[in-house]
Amino acid sequence: VADNPYFRKALETTRPGLTSDRHPLLHRRSLAGPLLDAAETREKKILKDAIKGKFATISQDGWLDMHNSPVIATSIHVEGKTYPFLFESAGTEKKTAAFLTEKAKEAILLAEKEFEVEVIAFISDSEPTMRRVRANLQEWRPSLFCLP
């Protein structure tokens, strides 16, 4: 989209002076690369500053992306606010309780490490596989409160 001539014309119309001559970084490669990386770093710092040292709940659900490929969607909930956290392609891996338990553990440990929160709860839907995941998580970490 960023390289589309119509998009560039609209950008020039709404933001005079913002052209590729003056801003050679404004093209799809830089938007999808260094600029996106910088935005992600900035947003993660803002999130960490907001939730560091607090109790957190992790929720996970299975979604389909626009190509109908399975995605594991994970959010962090802190003090009544929800923050998107991980959206990971599940690929062709079977969505077994063992596989999903490992993904949940990875998400919990990453949230605790990256954002310095204390994960006290895990929420998922009531699908039978996820019931087993919740049971597995409680065996792994007995203090973890698990809800359907």
Chain segment 77-92, per-residue pLDDT in tens: 999 999 999 999 988 8
Q: In this structure, are residues 70 and 95 in contact, taking their beta carbons and an 8 Å threshold?
A: yes
CA-wise closest residue to 51 among 77, 74, 86: 77
Q: What is the pTM of this model?
A: 0.78
Record the tokens describing residue 23, joined without a space.
């801003």
> If pLDDT is split at 50, 70 and 90, which confidence band does 7 have?
confident
